[in-house]
Structure 1
Amino acid sequence: MRFLKRMLVGLAAVATTAALLPAGPADAAPRATIGGGSGIVIANNALCTMTAVGHDRAGRLVGLTAAHCGGVGNTIRSERNRAAGVIGTIVTRSPSLDVAVIRLDPSRVHAVRQVGKARIHKVGVYPRPLSNVCKAGRTTGFTCGPTLVHDGPETLSYVCADHGDSGGPIIVAGRLVGMLNGALRIAGPGSPSIPCVDPAIPLYSPMIATKMTDILRPLNQTNFVGAGFRVL
């Protein structure tokens, strides 16, 4: 896409051995608590973060995450509650916007508006440069920082993020304004990003995110699962 997308390093992480352990019997599986900021395991391989959970216009329970985390048909499990088994499947994805729609199983998911410090009650507009935004990720948690650049649907913000945070919600005062897609390649295309080791050490690559309004606009014009998405 644009300059920022060419300079993006995806922040999916490889699942650890613990995340690959089999789930318990299906008839005894407890429901997994899932919301924006929850860690998810895709196809027993990648660790990413759920952007948000809600319903589409058909009333189906769905979630969003970054498309580079997995492909259509990939299974989704909860990182924190592996006993819940497969809680959903990726059913739609847009590589150009780096967004994937997950159809969730209501019998295996307890959907919530708040995960830790991340609370989402509606979709909002990404703020102007120099305004603060916060992100929630399964690796680096809830961190905040200033927006630096807008580039069409993409944004650049100086917020701590690392591998596994891909898909994390970008939040301003309870409003879901974007999805974390990766980090900036400081030295240009092909170069690595600088991961955030500690939010207190301000030496890391800025975070690249896609505006939620630009994600939902084309999705809502389709008849795909996820169209008409609204948060809980």
Structure 2
Amino acid sequence: MNAAVRVLLCDDHAVVRAGLRALLSSTDGIEVVGEAGSGADALAMAGALRPDVVLMDLQLGSGMDGVEATRRLTASDSDAAPRVLVLTMFDTDADIARAVAAGAAGYLLKAEPPERLFAAVRDAAAGRTALSRAVTDRVVSRLRAPGPALTERERDVLARLAEGMGNREIARTLFLSEATVKTHLGRVYDKLGVRTRAGAVAAAARHRLLP
């Protein structure tokens, strides 16, 4: 008989964690070994509990977000490093790309039926990739019609621009000079084919480049 897949839950909502624990505990072959309410807690608990899979939300309130927690959890080349399966309500291209780039083994939406979640946990533990059908469709669509390729720093600047920040505030937030911010914005404008800040935000939303 195969050993149960050991799962650590990471979500900042206690009610969600309780629901996931009850759901996962209702099926054979999956054992919930712990619950973390923050990214920092997930890192500490993963080191102590050695889960096979960490079920990770992206939005974790203040502090470390799910993407950074995923990056740190999967950074080790050790066989003991857990597989991280993102479980979230957010399905923007930017969120999917960041999670996958951080090392996530899969990306599921919270609207998935329980059977799909169970299968995804087992797939992740076995080293396979697990994606929601909706996420798969989006990835395929993006591959067929890719949008502008922005660097990570250009995305950072664009995100602050969308929040209504001016160049000086963006520079202070990202620890850049105003001249560097202007350079990044110029490249963003060129790639998006726009000439104004409002145009850049509108184009970014159209191409789903904003988190």
**TM-score clears 0.5:** no
Point out the structure with the larger helix share. 2
Higher CA-based Rg: 2
**TM-score tier after normalising by the smaller chain length:** under 0.3
TM-score by length of 2: 0.26
TM-score by length of 1: 0.24
Point out the structure with the larger strand share. 1
